[in-house]
Amino acid sequence: MASFLCFRLHGPLASWGDIAVGERRPSTPHPSRSAVLGLLAAALRIRRDDADALAALDRGLGFASRTDAPGELLIDFHTAQGPEEKLLRAEAAVAKKAGRPWHRPATRRAELAFGRRALSTLLSSRQYRVDAVWTVALWSHSGTPSPPLEPLQDALRRPGFVPYLGRKSCPLDLPLEPQIVEAAHPVEAMARAVFRSDAVVAPVLERGLGKGTVQWEEDWPGLEPAQTSRRRDRVISRSRWQFTERQEHQRAWTPEERGRHVPEQD
């Protein structure tokens, strides 16, 4: 048996970024490893520029998720206006050469101060999942310096920074309900997890019947995938927005499986 930290993700909108080319910003149907560990890092008050702390989380934890209700796909035609990137880089270089601090514009007023001719408009098509529910399981890797699960559980109960579902515009609408579960593998752990919010999301879960999947990494005795794919969602550098591939196993999931993993009560 092993220990797993399980928690629930639900919100009006979620966006789990995938490989983005050009103006299209896709979302996968289930959470990405980088987004979930980013949510955990926010709960722990780890800043994006703390590369060592982020790398320690990535090395020390395994990741699995279960899609309880996939929700619906929403595509948003998005516009954003700001100073051209080459102008910002030029200003940063001048400031560095002069030995003075420089910061990117933090407000709309600061952006407009560059003048209309310096502004450019970016168009993109962004995907979101609407009213979906997922369960997540994390575990400590053996043989590596891994963070204990109890402090992670406490951080998810009382987050240091605001957690969100992939994008800042995608807040949670229910408590994460983190809990440590003993099980043989992550799929069993997620089946054993008990969430008080079941009654709240019952209509959503009902709409998701027959559409559930489980995804996990690493090989586990008694856990056979229907397919194995590669996902580019393991962080190399947050500052440079670089990711590498990992192997992800997947198969279907139905609520009836819960009875195979949770012992009956007398």
Q: Per residue of the chain (266 residues), what is the pLDDT tens digit?
A: 899 999 999 999 999 987 766 677 888 899 999 999 999 999 999 998 898 999 899 899 999 999 999 999 999 998 888 888 888 899 899 999 999 998 888 898 888 888 888 888 888 889 999 999 999 999 998 766 678 999 999 999 999 999 999 999 999 999 999 999 999 999 999 999 999 999 999 999 999 888 999 999 999 998 899 999 998 888 877 667 778 889 999 999 987 776 555 555 44
Residue 266 confidence (pLDDT): 43
Q: Tokens 């050469």 label which residue?
A: 97
| Residue 35 domain-assigned (yes or no) | yes
CATH (domain of 169) = 3.30.70.2660
Model pTM score = 0.82
| Residue 266 domain-assigned (yes or no) | no
- One domain for residues 254 and 147: yes
- One domain for residues 59 and 103: no
- One domain for residues 35 and 97: no
CA distance 220 to 249: 11
| Residue 18 domain-assigned (yes or no) | yes
Residue 261 confidence (pLDDT): 54
- One domain for residues 52 and 146: yes
CA distance 206 to 203: 5
DSSP state of 141: P
- One domain for residues 87 and 175: no
CA distance 247 to 228: 7
127 alpha carbon, distance to own chain's centre: 15
- One domain for residues 225 and 250: yes
Q: Backbone dihedral region of 59: left (phi > 0), alpha (psi from -120 to 50 degrees) or beta?
A: alpha
- One domain for residues 107 and 194: no
- One domain for residues 99 and 230: no
| Residue 185 domain-assigned (yes or no) | yes
Residue 265 confidence (pLDDT): 46
- One domain for residues 14 and 96: no
Residue 243 confidence (pLDDT): 80
Residue 144 confidence (pLDDT): 66
Which structural domain range is residue 90 located in? 78-123
CA distance 252 to 151: 32
Residue 26 confidence (pLDDT): 81
Residue 38 confidence (pLDDT): 94
Specify the number of domains making up the chain: 2
